[in-house]
Chain A
Amino acid sequence: MTTKFTPDHEYIVVDGANGTVGISNYAQEQLGDIVFVELPAVGKVLKKGDEAAVVESVKAASEIYAPVSGTVTEVNEALNGEPGLINSDPEAGGWIFKIAITDAGELDGLLDDAGYADLTK
């Protein structure tokens, strides 16, 4: 499994043809306490860059864009009751949705750990 990042602070953990998407630890720190997550519908077909979800803190609403094209296969229902998971465990328990990747080539355009670390320095 490898983790890639977008310049917009989404991450995608890639496992074969499937990916798990959320927001980075840096992003959750910037946003502060997350109070609500609007999840996508399972089965929704997304193009890279499409708005997939919305993460709300008390005074900000941030769109989460699809890091790659694909179909939503699963969403993290736990966030409905406990949106703070994104703060406490952004890159594991605070994942937002899973996606079946249609074009693995799109992953090449994303940042790796080091590249993302540079971006948020």
Chain B
Amino acid sequence: MSMNTQGRPTGIGTVGTGASGSALIPDEPLLFEIGDTEHSGVDLPEVELSSDRLGGFGRKTKLDLAGLTEPEAMRHYVRLSRMNHSIDSGMYPLGSCTMKHNPRLNEKMARLPGFSDIHPLQPVSTVQGALELMNELSYWLMTLTNTAAVALSPKAGAHGELLGMMAIKAAQEAKGEAHRTIVLVPESAHGTNPATAAFIGYSVKPVPAKADGTVDVEAVKAALSPEVAAIMLTNPNTCGLFEPQVIEIAKAVHDAGAFFYCDGANFNAIMGVVRPGDLGIDAMHINLHKTFSTPHGGGGPGAGPVVLSAALAPFAPVPFVRKAESGLELVEHVEEQALGRVTAFHGQMGMYVRALTYMLSHGADGLAQAAQDAVLNANYVKARLEHLFSVPFPDYPTMHEALFDDSFLKDTGVTTLDFAKALIDEGFHPMTMYFPLVVHGAMLIEPTESESKQTLDRFCDVMAELATDAKEGNSERFTAAPMKAPRRRLDETRAARQPILKWEKPAGTLKAAE
């Protein structure tokens, strides 16, 4: 049996208050428990359809969709929103997620009708400004990474990975090297990396990490063979470390006829300071929703443009923007093009606008400063806490994330999960837990550049106090946490054993209207 464990099941706490819902921590019924099929928050005329053109395919079954009037809807969604933690309400130090400030100018610009109210298939002559914006964003991304091309269209980081690996596969096939079927993935990689490689038919070969948390160039060389198509490496890596031998790794990979896919999830640590193209990468996705602050929105939408080296540029998918005599043209088809298209239309325009706004606001100097502040903040957290917490990889300064393991909790009866839940009661969002998988009970803290010194100090004070408390044996504060959130710990076992994935009308409560 293999144990492929990311987190541990949530236990159920024992201390119950029974309290639920107050003016400030609301408890909100489901939409279907408030609304009904007759209420509506829009005024639309009822039209006569004397002769429809539905050809007999008209609806016969009831929709049974609950509606709300506008004031009811406003209150429902405002009350729901107040059960969420957000960057704007408190620090959100989720490692590998880059939860930085989301400037509202970005939102304002994305809503200009010239961007939000244009159709992807209206004549190209009527959207020249949009193409110019895509061109300008491409220029920024290529310049910051020193690469030859960029494919903008992927919808998120994992989608960008998919495109990048498809381009690598196409390039290997074009070289007559279709027999290369193995992709090397370090053990510390994001789960999306092996998932992506497998998704397009590669077999995944793990590469072990060294004891210092970095990838061993010798291990890579030993794993390389004429069957290897590519390596997928995150740099800075998921332990928050810059791979010191990255240039040697790139050279070894290229010498073996393979390509270097870099997972750019952690680009925030180096933007404007290090150009990945100088390190020898062939493809790298950039999460615009992380590095360039297009908001996470409770889980998307993201955007994952992929920069490509000159070797991979010919394998970029459609569409792309090209200069022509009459202005900018949008290339939507290429004959015999290897890859084709990975999404309908042209990708996440709304995110392009936000990202470019963010870049223009910062400028090259501001982006470099942001990266350096992100690294400064992570090192500051590490420096302030390393006497109480255990640092698995002390040999290098960390980049934009501080990583601790759970050995400081040994024999306390407190787990990483408990510790994280106790942070909630102190007003902080927990750090990333149990990732990277190579570290036992990992706690990965990414403060980002957006946090002030005062906030970092408060966070470190709370962390220190919690660590001291755990070591002193006050475990109930942890195992029962959170106590002050809208909900106590939730029973995930129950949710998974008998999944309830939608609301069903309780039996015996049919309303007269139906």
Contact = CB atoms under 8 A, between A and B. Distances in A.
Contact between A and B in the complex (any CB pair below 8 Å): yes
A58 B9 contact: yes
Nearest to A9: B1
A48 B3 CA distance: 18
Contacts of B474: none
Q: Name the residue in A8, A56, A59 with the highest tally of chain B Cβ atoms < 10 Å from its Cβ.
A: A59
Interface string B9-26: 110000000000000000
A49 to B, nearest CB: 11
12 contacts: A8-B1, A23-B1, A31-B5, A32-B8, A32-B9, A33-B493, A59-B8, A61-B4, A62-B1, A62-B3, A64-B1, A65-B2
Interface of B: 1-10, 492-493, 496-497
A58 B499 CA distance: 12
Nearest to A65: B1
B496 A36 contact: yes
A31 to B, nearest CB: 7
Top 7 nearest A-B pairs (CB, nearest first) are A35-B496, A32-B9, A33-B493, A60-B5, A59-B7, A58-B9, A58-B492
A62 B3 CA distance: 5
Nearest to B5: A60
Interface in A39-76: 55-65
B3 A30 contact: yes
Interface residues on A, range: 20 to 34
A84 interface: yes
A114 B5 CA distance: 27
Contacts, number: 52
A57 B493 CA distance: 8
A112 interface: no
Nearest to B495: A58
A32 B497 CA distance: 13
A110 interface: no
Given A58-B492, A58-B496, 15 more contacts: A8-B1, A8-B2, A23-B1, A32-B8, A33-B9, A33-B497, A35-B497, A36-B497, A57-B9, A59-B7, A59-B8, A62-B1, A62-B2, A63-B4, A65-B1
B1 A55 contact: yes
Contact of A27 (B1, B9, B497): B1
A18 to B, nearest CB: 21
Contacts of A30: 3
A107 B177 CA distance: 43
A35 B5 contact: no
A59 B1 contact: no
Contacts of A8: 1-2
Nearest to B417: A59
Nearest to A55: B1
Nearest to B6: A59
A83 interface: yes
B472 to A, nearest CB: 27
Nearest to A7: B1
Given A35-B496, A58-B10, A10 B5 contact: no
A23 B1 CA distance: 8
B441 to A, nearest CB: 14
Contacts of B9: 32-33, 57-59
Contacts of A23: 1
Q: Name the residue in A8, A27, A60, A84 with the highest tally of chain B Cβ atoms < 10 Å from its Cβ.
A: A60
A60 B4 contact: yes
A27 B4 CA distance: 12
Contacts of B1: 6, 8-10, 23, 27, 55, 62-65
A27 B493 CA distance: 17
Given A57-B9, A58-B9, A35 B3 contact: no
Contacts of B8: 32, 59
Contact of B493 (A6, A10, A55, A58): A58
Given A9-B1, A65-B1, A35 B493 contact: yes
Q: Name the residue in B1, B10, B496 with the highest tally of chain A Cβ atoms < 10 Å from its Cβ.
A: B1
A23 B497 CA distance: 19
Contacts of A32: 8-9, 493
Nearest to A24: B1
Nearest to A30: B3
